[in-house]
Amino acid sequence: MEYRKLGNTDLQLSTVTYGAFAIGGNMWGGNEKQDSIAAVHASLDQGVTTIDTAPFYGFGLSEELIGEAIKGKDRSKIQLLTKFGLVWDGSNQGKGEYFFDASADGKNIPVYKYASKANIIKELEESLKRLGTDYVDLLQLHWPDATTPIDETMEALDTLIRQGKIRAAGVSNYSLAQLQEAAKTIQLASNQVPYSMLNRGIEQDLVPYTIEHQIGIIAYSPLERGLLTGKYFRDAALKADDHRNGYFGQFSADKVKAFLDSITPLAKNKKASLAQLVLRWTTLQPGISIVLAGARNAEQAVQNAAAMNVQLTTAEIGYINGELEKVYSGQAV
Distances (CA, A) of 187 to 38, 158, 179, 311: 36, 9, 10, 34
CB 225 within 8 A of CB 251: no
Catalytic positions, written as ranges = 57
Contacts made by residues 201-208, CB under 8 angstroms, sequence distance 24+: 201/330, 201/331, 203/285, 203/286, 203/287, 205/176, 206/175, 206/176, 206/179, 207/286, 207/287, 208/287
Using CA atoms, how far apart are residues 223 and 274, in angstroms rounded to an integer? 10
CA distance 125 to 309: 38
Pairing mode, strands 288-294 and 16-19: parallel
CA–CA separation, 137 vs 50, rounded Å? 9
Q: List alpha helices for the chain, DSSP H.
A: 33-45, 61-70, 117-131, 150-163, 176-182, 206-212, 244-247, 253-269, 274-283, 298-305, 314-325
Q: Measured between alpha carbons, how far is 161 from 241 in angstroms, rounded to an integer?
A: 39
